[in-house]
């Protein structure tokens, strides 16, 4: 499933990503490391992105921020096999929401058709059952190789949130040499979760950054997540009041409060990784 909010937001055109593009464990990936090389890498963060995928500039900038703020190597792989939603859909959804002039209404059917053209292929080609094997295989390869002696975290947004939660289920058959595929999880405004069933299976601690105005996971469901996480002590839930779906990645940086919330969510993720990684000794 998807919703218009999954395809809304702001493109960060004022910053240029500084990482490199390579092929890693069979997938194209954006890879970035801390600007400072004075300290050793503290761990590996693998971003499972939102609908706009690994090439979306906002996702790459977020990867750079994680690297510098936490001292981590960060991977942003191509998990969607070329079927990420096109970035132009952001402008299309904005046009659909405009109602201030007659022309806005006249052009609305055109913009709706364009939105469907963008959304339907993404939804069809990136179903969980289609992409989950690719995600799990990549994490397995990282754990077996460069992550054998380093802590690993998954950071999933919207579409990537469900994959992050599944990785946190920590099934015995998925372990590599007795180690879990991830040591911590973070997810911002996840979508397509079965609540509370998917949450009740979590074993690896997950930090949730939830939006009060998210149409994908509304406040009653957020309360269910809080209850399931709290009862089993497998994570934390922070609600960002006034924020909508996509705020962690696609916040409008021209809006002061929303930008502050996006930055706060970054800090939430970094603090969580630091806390959980401190418990790991490989």
Contact 53, 84 (CB under 8 A): yes
Closest CA to 87 of 17, 10, 20: 10
> Going by DSSP bridges, is the β-strand pair 44-48/235-240 parallel, antiparallel, or unpaired?
unpaired
Give the model confidence (pLDDT) of 200-258 as tens digits.
999 999 999 999 989 889 999 999 999 999 999 999 999 999 888 889 987 554 455 67
Give the model confidence (pLDDT) of 114-164 as tens digits.
778 778 999 999 999 999 999 999 999 999 999 999 999 999 999 999 999
Return the beta strands (E) in 148-282 as ranges: 152-157, 184-188, 206-211, 235-240
DSSP sequence for 103-122: HHHHSHHHHHHHHHHHHHHH
Please name the fold of domain 4-84+128-277.
Rossmann fold (3.40.50)
Report which listed range, 28-42, 91-105, 249-263, is most confident. Answer: 28-42
Alpha-carbon distance of 155 to 60, in angstroms, equals: 13
Classify residue 67 by its DSSP letter.
H
Contact 209, 177 (CB under 8 A): no
pTM (2 decimals)? 0.91
Alpha-carbon distance of 82 to 63, in angstroms, equals: 20
pLDDT of residue 2: 46
Residue with token string 């240029």:
16
Alpha-carbon distance of 56 to 65, in angstroms, equals: 15
pLDDT of residue 10: 52
Q: How far apart are the first and last CA of the chain?
A: 39
pLDDT above 60 (res 87)? yes
Q: Where are the domains of the chain?
A: 4-84+128-277, 88-125
pLDDT above 80 (res 96)? no
């Amino acid at each position: 499933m998807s919703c218009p909010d999954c395809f809304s937001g702001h493109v960060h055109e004022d910053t240029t990503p500084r990482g490199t593009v390579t092929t890693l464990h069979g997938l194209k990936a954006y890879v970035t490391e801390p600007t400072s090389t004075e300290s050793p890498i503290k761990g590996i963060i693998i971003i499972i992105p939102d609908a706009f995928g690994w090439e979306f500039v906002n996702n790459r900038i977020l990867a750079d921020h994680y690297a510098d703020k936490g001292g981590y190597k960060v991977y942003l792989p191509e998990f969607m096999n070329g079927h990420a939603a096109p970035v132009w859909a952001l402008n299309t959804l904005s046009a659909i929401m405009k109602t201030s002039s007659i022309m806005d209404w006249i052009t609305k059917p055109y913009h709706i058709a364009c939105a469907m053209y963008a959304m339907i292929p993404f939804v069809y080609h990136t179903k969980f059952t289609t992409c989950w094997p690719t995600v799990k295989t990549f994490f397995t390869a990282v754990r077996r190789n460069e992550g054998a002696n380093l802590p690993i975290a998954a950071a999933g947004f919207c579409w990537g949130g469900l994959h992050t939660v599944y990785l946190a289920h920590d099934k015995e058959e998925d372990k590599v040499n007795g180690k879990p595929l991830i040591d911590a999880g973070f997810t911002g405004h996840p979508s397509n979760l079965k609540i509370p069933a998917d949450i009740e299976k979590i074993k690896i601690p997950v930090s949730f950054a939830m939006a009060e105005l998210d149409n994908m996971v509304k406040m009653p469901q957020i309360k269910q997540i809080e209850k399931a996480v709290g009862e089993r002590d497998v994570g934390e839930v922070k609600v960002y009041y006034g924020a909508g779906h996509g705020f962690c990645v696609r916040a409008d940086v021209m809006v002061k409060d929303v930008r502050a919330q996006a930055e706060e969510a970054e800090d939430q993720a970094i603090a969580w990784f630091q806390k959980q990684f401190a418990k790991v000794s490989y």
